[in-house]
Amino acid sequence: MAITLAKNNTAERKALDMKAGDTVKVHQKIQEKGKTRIQIFEGLVLSRKHGSEAGATFTVRKSSNGWGVERIFPLHSPMIDKIEVLRRSKTRRAKLYFIRDKAAKEISKRMKTELIKARTGVVDEVVETEAVEAK
């Protein structure tokens, strides 16, 4: 059973040299109330699965308002307008799933330091000394 793909250049998508660690912009078509618009999802490629065949997918992660958001895109989807590779990175892994835990640890560490500063009033003292020195 042959799978036919709609109106996207499959040769171009197969030749797309995108791998884990690259920062990409995915331009996705979204239909709302009869209108079509383009929504851009920019983030880090965590993985690419199934090579460049018809069922190939790639996972992109971004941080939005302090929350980690991941999306899995089909490589040959007609709803994807274009894929831009913004920055290439050299990685030693094919799948970067450890980034999820790393980001969570950094956020919790940052929150702990802010909580300690708020309890001790360190932030207020630093601001007051700078204001006195400026006068």
In the chain, the number of structural domains is 2
Tokens 């360190």, residue located:
122
- Pair (117, 130) in one structural domain: yes
- Pair (89, 25) in one structural domain: yes
- Pair (66, 30) in one structural domain: yes
Q: Which residues pair with 38 in a beta bridge?
A: 29
pLDDT tens digit sequence for 48-86: 999 888 899 999 999 888 788 999 999 988 899 999 999
Which domain does 45 fall in, by range? 1-96
Distance CA 60, CA 69 (A): 8
Distance CA 121, CA 42 (A): 37
- Pair (83, 102) in one structural domain: no
CATH of the domain at 84: 2.30.30.790
Q: What does the block give as tokens for 54? A: 């018809």
- Pair (8, 68) in one structural domain: yes
Task: Say what the pTM is.
Answer: 0.71
